[in-house]
Chain A
Amino acid sequence: MKDPETIPIDLSIFSLDTVKRTALRYTSHYHVEIRELSSGTVEVALTPKETVPFASHLPRNFREDLLDQDLRSLIAQETQLACRLILAQAFSHLPLDADVTE
């Protein structure tokens, strides 16, 4: 088995959820392991699968993907309510200001 590329990540900057979602994008070409290094720090280990050539820019790509994923998390947090409103307005016959308690 090839040696893994390891990428330490500070969880005070990126959430564990963001790290996991980013790592998921690599599972088709890499064996992925996420392990705790110390309190507040994790390490993502990416080991190329047999048919995948080792990519020297892998850590850089992962960190850029991590930044993108962090943006997605921010968007999801901010737009969660708007998304529900749009879906409700689109697929129910209720007005947006309807009282739905009854």
Chain B
Amino acid sequence: MKAHALPILHSAFADENTFRDRQTDKYSLLPVRFIRLDATRYVATNIVGEYQVLTREELYNLVHHRLPMDSKLYEDLKSKHFLIDGDSLVAVELVAAKLRTRYYQTSSLTSLFLFVVTLRCEHACPYCQVSRRSMDKAAFDMSEETACKAIDLVFESPSHSIKVEFQGGEPLLNFDRIKFIVQEVERRNVNAGKDIAFVIATNLALIDDEMLTFCRLHNVDISTSLDGPADLHNANRPRPGGNSYEKTIEGITRVRHALGDSKLAALMTTTKASLGRERDIIDEYRRQGFNAIFLRSLSPYGFAVKTGAISGYDIDAWLEFYKRGLRYILDLNRSGEVFVEEYAAIMLRKMLTPYPQGFVDLQSPAGLGLAVLAINYDGHVYASDEARMLAEMKDHTFRLGKVGEVGLAELISSDAFIEMLESTMTEGMPLCSECGFQPYCGSDPVFHHATQNDMVGNKGASSFCKKNMEIARHLILLMEDSPEDARVLRSWL
């Protein structure tokens, strides 16, 4: 059938009937979701994530077509594509263009490949779910043969930009394999011509001059772990000698000297001991010359929690930690110091720009497999780093195949992969599909499988859901109620 009801949007000029028939006293709604913001206000979002805070009366008036067309609110809603009237039919095309931009990266397929070059580690962090203290190289290191097959997989990706990240265990314990992979990728890329970046995720305890020289020559970035000041970091990350903090700080200095500030990033993990110490942690990052921090929660599942090696905490406790930390960071910025909280920055970019963020957990469909693949030391391929961690607990639900046995096309067209992907599309999920925060959020099938034995899960009982909804709500409240905080938050885009 012909879509007769559609306006002719592709003509340069509309015919005269378009103007003669225009009804100036009526408007039509465009797709909109909403959720309560607080006791008196709602936040409404459109299909591309633009938002408007409304009172209950304003929301009811909007939906029941009782908004005065000469009001400022009407103009705001019209300019943000919540409604169309006789003057704004082109809004449909604009919204479609923004939507296409928002989903653009999904079409580029896998761009991040995690190479788990060894499970061995000289640390014994209680929250780590994968590392082995064994020094048996044959048992837990990636072989050259496996590495070659994994590189085959990398070059099957249609993505022009590729990131190869080395994980462990402690990947520097198998530095020879890292060197081999980097050089082999570079050799093959002479013909492929991709834009390739390398990152080593390391605790830095073992880094030496030879490694740094290699990293400098081959443009390899370093990502390290810093959990806070010495007492907290060393408690979280025990190693022989009890000097993880000292080793990390020494390593940070050496990396900066050899590679430059821009080649180093740090990540923190929140343990129960971290709660209440948000200022100490943030101040430690400032002391070490970082101008950003990613306040991360510990996954409330996994080997460490299950065995009682570490006490978990509920998401409410973490959210209090997060909000206090964010408050401190906002105050630092308001006093003139530029310092960014990365998770807020990602969500703000989703709220205030149409551009995709590439953050695996906060997109629909999720980035598992689509954006990232984790290749374990033994060649098994998983949909994410968390998925291979789950496999160490003997749950192989998210194992997609093995390098050398299946190609990338086969991996991402398998029934298992498609089923997993479908379970992450929040546009069609119960509760998510109607949630005002849907454009900012995502779904983590590994998390929900691990905590509810269901890849979709009951969102009302999901701490993943609670965490992201509460952060989105908090950020919008800050922007609505404090012009000074809004100014700082917008500066992070």
Contacts and interface: CB of A to CB of B under 8 A. Distances in A.
B460 interface: yes
B3 A97 contact: yes
A82 B92 contact: yes
A27 interface: yes
Contact of B47 (A24, A25, A86, A96): A86
B461 A28 contact: yes
Contacts of A13: none
Interface in A29-66: 29
Given A75-B63, A95-B9, A96-B9, A101 B31 contact: no
Contact of A101 (B2, B28, B30, B33): B2
Interface string A66-90: 0010011011001101110111011
Given A91-B100, A96-B9, A82 B31 contact: yes
A79 B8 CA distance: 19
Given A87-B99, A91-B100, A81 B461 contact: no
Interface in B88-119: 92-93, 95-97, 99-100, 103
- Which of A83, A90, A100 is packed against the most chain B CB atoms within 10 Å? A90
A49 B235 CA distance: 38
A28 B92 contact: no
A99 interface: yes
Contact of B9 (A27, A90, A97): A97
A81 B7 CA distance: 13
A1 interface: no
Interface of B (DSSP majority class): mixed
B460 A89 contact: no
Contacts of B343: none
A91 B47 CA distance: 14
Contacts of B33: 72
Contacts of A68: 34, 36
Contacts of A87: 96, 99
A81 B5 contact: yes
B97 A78 contact: no
B28 A97 contact: no
A86 B95 contact: yes
A28 B458 contact: yes
A27 B460 contact: yes
Contacts of B459: 28
Given A27-B460, A81-B5, A95-B9, A90 B103 contact: yes
Contacts of A27: 458, 460
Given A25-B460, A28-B460, A81-B5, A96 B92 contact: yes
A99 B2 contact: yes
B458 A90 contact: no
A32 to B, nearest CB: 11
Contacts of B103: 90-91
Contact of B99 (A72, A81, A90): A90
9 contacts: A24-B460, A27-B460, A29-B460, A68-B36, A71-B63, A82-B30, A86-B31, A90-B103, A95-B10
Interface of B: 1-3, 5-10, 28-34, 36, 47, 59-60, 63-64, 84, 92-93, 95-97, 99-100, 103, 430-431, 434, 458-461
Given A24-B430, A86-B92, A91-B103, 8 more contacts: A24-B431, A27-B460, A28-B461, A75-B29, A82-B28, A95-B9, A96-B8, A101-B2
